[in-house]
Amino acid sequence: MLSRLASRTSSPAVASRALATTSAPDLFKALAEITPKQQAKFKMLKEKYGDKSLGQVTVDQALGGARDVSCLVWEPSLLDAQEGIRFRGMTIPEVQKALPPASGKKGDEPGPESLLWLLLTGTVPTAEQAASVGKELSARAALPAHVEPLIRSLPKTMHPMTQLSMAVLAMQTDSKFAAAYAKGMPKSKYGEVMLEDCLDLIARLPRVSALIYRCTYKDGKIADHNPKLDYAKNFNHMLGMKDNKEFDELMRLYLVLHSDHEGGNASAHSTHLVGSTLADAYLAFSGGMNALAGPLHGLANQEVLRWILDLQKAFQAEGKPVNEDTIREFAWATLKSGKVIPGYGHAVLRKTDPRYTAQREFALKYMPNDPLFKIVGTIYEVVPDVLTKHGKCACFFPPSSLLPSYRER
């Protein structure tokens, strides 16, 4: 697949890299075998069941943004109300056990390279196949020359999500799909070239994100990409967290947990919607990030952390200990003031998000005595009861709240 694309490009660098990667047991060969079967399956579904109804839609569902309306085919993941997210049918613990560990050490966390293989192909990769994905992404990690100066020119007061959306749009100048479409690419090749853009984008996001972090919160200095490191470790390296095995394991876990979420939430749906116009992956992904930036979606993670840090600050100022009684008092004070306790309530899930559970287990293993984690753990024990008595949903969803405990010291 890459070699065919390379034959149509005028860039010798792209051509040589493409030819070099196609000899390995790589993702492209796997997808080349799977794609015709998938096309045949969906053709059969359309021909045999195309006129069948999937159910009725109520006015409440229409007013609620199509909640619980079956209107999207998405195979890589499924969000179950009781079990949480499943990746290709596997729960989070099953994924952790089945995928090869990124470090090569049994019992360690798998990396996003192996999960990307799983999501795209539906099969569990071998360690060699996961490594081939890592090499492919590493070969694509360099940013277009104008992107880093753009990020460095942005004001530090600009929200990181706004910076991310702008940086992704700036990379659109390298879109292989847009270039091929402009030259009259046949429809049968759309998928191939869109995959090229998607992999380029995935490969570049760690450096873009690290640059935004280093320029906004640090001194702007950033380590070079290291092709010897895996995806998550490279990201940590550029963030400034070097030689920290625990943080490497945490980042692998975090990236795997948040790599896919059924395809129907606001950011995923926005990405699909923009992409359905044949806009390239950069334009589509930027649209998804803009949706993710909203406080009722991805920004909720920030609001959870803000509430926890406000609690910690208030307790320190008042000399209060962190225990069940004081956190219960703080929670009731929040609710009685007319505010909400962020991190609770979900459109689908009716139990604690298993992504949080996985991170909680990680924290209990690596950082059980961390002050911030102790606060989170006590909140987990106390607040559901408060919310139940208040008549609110008591499901806990703070997937990002553990990460600040690994701030640079």
Q: What is the pLDDT of residue 402?
A: 43
Among candidates 50, 36, 234, which has minimal Cα distance to 134? 234
Q: How many domains does the chain have?
A: 3
Q: Domain range for residue 23?
A: 1-46
When pLDDT is averaged across residues 238-250 and rounded to a whole number, the result is: 95
401 in the same domain as 265? no
Let me know the angle formed at the C-alpha of 76 by 95 and 143, rounded to the nearest 5 degrees: 90
| Residue 403: pLDDT over 70 | no
- Residue at 238 is within a domain: no
Please check whether residues 268 and 372 belong to one and the same domain.
Answer: no
Q: Based on the fold, state whether residues 379 and 318 are members of the same structural domain.
A: yes
Do the domain assignments include residue 396? yes
Torsion region of 265: left, alpha or beta (phi above 0 gives left; psi -120 to 50 gives alpha): beta
**Spatial contact of 341 and 335, defined as CB atoms under 8 Å apart:** yes
Task: List Cβ neighbours of 392 (8 Å cut-off, separation of 6 or more).
Answer: 335, 341, 344, 345
Which residue in 278, 20, 259 sits closest to 120, CA to CA? 259
Greater model confidence, 215 or 359: 215
- 15-29, 199-213, 293-307: the lowest-pLDDT one: 15-29
Same domain for 155 and 287? yes
d(CA 151, CA 38) in angstroms, rounded, equals: 40
**337 in a domain, yes or no?**
yes
At 220, which amino acid appears?
G
**Does 270 lie in the same domain as 394?**
no
CATH of the domain at 331: 1.10.230.10
pLDDT at 347: 52
What's the pLDDT band for 19 if we cut at 50, 70, 90?
Answer: very low
Residues 381 and 396 both lie in one domain: yes
Whether residue 139 lies inside any domain: the answer is no
- What tens digit of pLDDT does each residue of 84-120 get? 889 999 999 999 999 999 999 999 999 999 999 999 9
60 occurs within a structural domain: no
Average pLDDT (242-264) is 91
Across 17-21, 41-45, 337-341, 375-379, the highest mean pLDDT is recorded for: 41-45
Q: Are residues 193 and 267 in the same domain?
A: yes
Whether residue 72 is contained in a domain is answered as no
Provide mean pLDDT across the span 109-138.
96
Distance of CA 209 to the CA centre of its chain: 12
Quickly count: other Cβ atoms within 10 Å of residue 69's Cβ: 16
Both 332 and 270 in a single domain? no
Residue that finishes a domain, picked among 272, 292, 312: 292
| pTM across the whole model | 0.85
Q: How many CA atoms lie within 13 A of 344 on its CB side?
A: 23
Rounded Cα–Cα distance for residues 257 and 51 (Å): 36
Tokens representing 191? 């998928």
Instruction: Tell which of 30, 46, 62 closes a domain.
Output: 46
Asked whether residue 36 is domain-assigned, the answer is yes
pLDDT of residue 25: 56
CA dihedral angle for residue 267, residue 270, residue 276, residue 281, rounded to 10 degrees: -50
Same domain, 267 and 374: no
Predicted local confidence at residue 79, as pLDDT: 83
Mean pLDDT for the chain overall: 86
Q: Give the mean pLDDT of 117-129.
A: 96
Indicate if 196 and 270 belong to the same structural domain.
yes
> In this structure, are 218 and 318 located in the same domain?
no
**Does residue 283 share a domain with residue 154?**
yes
Q: Which residues are paired to 101 by β-bridges?
A: 110
Q: What is the pLDDT of residue 344?
A: 67
Lowest-confidence region among 88-92, 144-148, 317-321, 397-401: 397-401
- Structure confidence by residue, pLDDT tens digits, 137-187: 999 999 999 999 999 999 999 999 999 999 999 999 999 999 999 999 999
193, part of any domain? yes
Separation CA 30–CA 1 (nearest Å):
10
